[in-house]
């Protein structure tokens, strides 16, 4: 088992089980898009002489993207794609050349078998990130994290001797509730941001102090501030105003869920996506509240329980967070 990036690269480059052919529209597409985003982010930080942030984007975030891709492919039961593995190795070597020239030179010459020095290579040019894919990627990441956290929370309770109907030895299923509407309290803050945001300059018309004061007078400060900050970040990152402030998802939420958790294991029931007993994907007991998220619910249940037991009157009866990526609403 490789213990660092260099060893992993040396090992995976020799792997004959890697996939070839056309990239798929989920695991491959998300990883490819994330690498493009990180390369452009690193370029921006280099141009601003923010070398610490450039290192974060080109090394640490690249590693996280790679690990997420490996986990996603493993969950789907498919090998990594050879073209993306090579792209990962090549891009990282180029992006890290200004900071880690000896490491990059070794990867470039010894692993990729390039004939000339990496110092003669240009900084990579990649397409701009697809905002829909970026949002879907963050959504998948958050959902998987919530699933793992919820299960860990239940196991922790059991370890402390607290009563629970959760039995990790029994077959389980995962029910995720989604809706088409957002919490009503968010509307007035959306209207406020429409009033103070200048689309032409991609900035707010008033300073933060005045904006924060107006938010404070509207109540719900604790959850309103993170919600507004999330929307502002999306706007500054380039998402269209009509998408952000109309509170539209830029990706297909049900489709993303079905692909993320392997459609062959999913049964659609009302507003719930339900996994049958025996499914081995990650699952969760409750989605925790996330400010600025759509109303949804997810519950890890023992086999035999009906998913609609927790879905009455058109709403989920558990604390929940939006099924949507951070940066979307």
CATH of the domain at 22: 1.10.730.10
121 lies in the same domain as 151: no
Q: What is the pLDDT of residues 94-143, one digit of tens each?
A: 999 999 999 999 999 999 999 999 999 999 999 999 888 888 888 888 88
Q: Is the pLDDT of residue 172 over 80?
A: no
What proportion of the chain, given as a percentage, has pLDDT over 70? 77
- In this prediction, residue 168 has a pLDDT band, given cuts at 50, 70 and 90, of confident
Which pTM value belongs to this model? 0.67
> Considering its fold, how many domains does the chain have in total?
3
**165 in the same domain as 288:** yes
What per-residue confidence (pLDDT) applies to 75?
82
Report the range of poorest mean pLDDT among 41-45, 148-152, 195-199: 148-152
C-beta of residue 302 within 8 angstroms of C-beta of residue 167: yes
Give per-residue pLDDT as tens, 48-88.
Answer: 999 999 999 999 999 999 999 998 898 888 999 999 999 99
Q: Which pLDDT belongs to residue 263?
A: 53
> Worst-scoring range by mean pLDDT, 168-177, 184-193, 285-294, 297-306?
285-294
pLDDT greater than 60 at residue 314? no
Note whether residue 326 is domain-resident.
no
Domain shared by 84 and 208, yes or no: no
**Residues 57 and 23 placed together within one structural domain of the fold:** yes
pLDDT surpassing 50 at residue 283: no
Please indicate, yes or no, whether residues 106 and 15 belong to a single structural domain of this protein: yes
pLDDT of 170: 78
Question: What is the extent of the structural domain holding 168?
Answer: 132-181+249-316
CA gap 95, 40 in Å, rounded: 10
* Distance between first and last Cα of the chain: 40
pLDDT of residue 16 exceeding 80? yes
Whether the per-residue pLDDT at 198 is higher than 70: the answer is yes
Domain boundary among 193, 212, 244: 244
Instruction: With a cut of 90, say whether residue 310 has pLDDT above it.
Output: no
Which is nearest to 303 in space by CA: 173, 151, 165? 173
Higher confidence at residue 306 or residue 202? 202
In terms of C-beta density within 10 A (0-12 exposed, 13-18 middle, 19 or more buried), how is residue 196 classed? middle
Question: Which of 112-126, 190-204, 224-238 has the highest average model confidence (pLDDT)?
Answer: 112-126
Per-residue confidence (pLDDT) for residue 11, from 0 to 100: 95
Task: Say what the pLDDT of residue 278 is.
Answer: 47
Residue 2: its pLDDT value, please?
58
Judge if 172 and 304 occupy the same domain.
yes
End-of-domain residue from the set 66, 100, 129: 129
Same domain, 59 and 166: no
pLDDT band per the 50, 70, 90 thresholds, residue 285: very low
**CA 303 to CA 278: how far, in whole Å?**
9
More confident residue, 263 or 134: 134
Structural Rg of the chain based on CA atoms:
22
- Domain limit, last residue, from 244, 263, 290: 244
Domain contains 190: yes
* 111 and 144 share one domain: no
Which of the residue ranges 182-196, 205-219, 264-278 would you say has the lowest mean pLDDT? 264-278
């Amino acid at each position: 088992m490789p213990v660092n990036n260099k060893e992993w690269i040396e090992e995976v480059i020799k792997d004959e089980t890697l996939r070839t052919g056309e990239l798929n529209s989920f695991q491959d597409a998300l990883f490819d898009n994330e690498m493009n985003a990180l390369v452009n982010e690193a370029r921006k930080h280099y141009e601003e002489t923010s070398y610490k942030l450039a290192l974060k984007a080109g090394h640490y975030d690249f590693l996280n993207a790679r690990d997420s891709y490996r986990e996603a492919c493993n969950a789907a039961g498919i090998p990594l794609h050879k073209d993306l593995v090579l792209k990962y190795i090549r891009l990282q070597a180029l992006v890290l050349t200004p900071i880690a020239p000896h490491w990059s030179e070794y990867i470039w010459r010894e692993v990729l078998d390039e004939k000339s020095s990496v110092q003669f290579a240009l900084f990579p040019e990649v397409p701009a990130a697809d905002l829909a894919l970026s949002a879907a990627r963050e959504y998948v990441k958050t959902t998987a994290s919530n699933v793992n956290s919820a299960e860990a929370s239940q196991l922790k309770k059991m370890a402390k001797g607290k009563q629970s109907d959760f039995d990790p030895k029994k077959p389980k299923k995962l029910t995720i509730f989604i809706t088409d509407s957002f919490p009503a309290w968010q509307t007035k803050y959306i209207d406020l941001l429409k009033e103070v945001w200048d689309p032409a300059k991609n900035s707010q018309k008033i300073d933060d102090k005045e904006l924060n004061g107006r938010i404070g007078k509207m109540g719900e400060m604790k959850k309103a501030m993170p919600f507004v900050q999330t929307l502002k970040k999306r706007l500054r990152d380039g998402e269209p105003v009509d998408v952000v402030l109309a509170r539209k998802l830029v990706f297909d939420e049900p489709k993303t869920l079905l692909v993320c958790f392997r459609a062959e294991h999913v049964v659609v029931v009302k507003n719930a996506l339900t996994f049958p007993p025996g499914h081995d994907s990650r699952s969760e007991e409750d989605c925790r509240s996330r400010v600025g998220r759509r109303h949804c619910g997810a519950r890890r249940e023992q086999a035999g329980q009906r998913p609609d037991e927790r879905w009455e009157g058109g709403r989920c009866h558990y604390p929940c967070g939006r099924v949507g990526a951070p940066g979307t609403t």
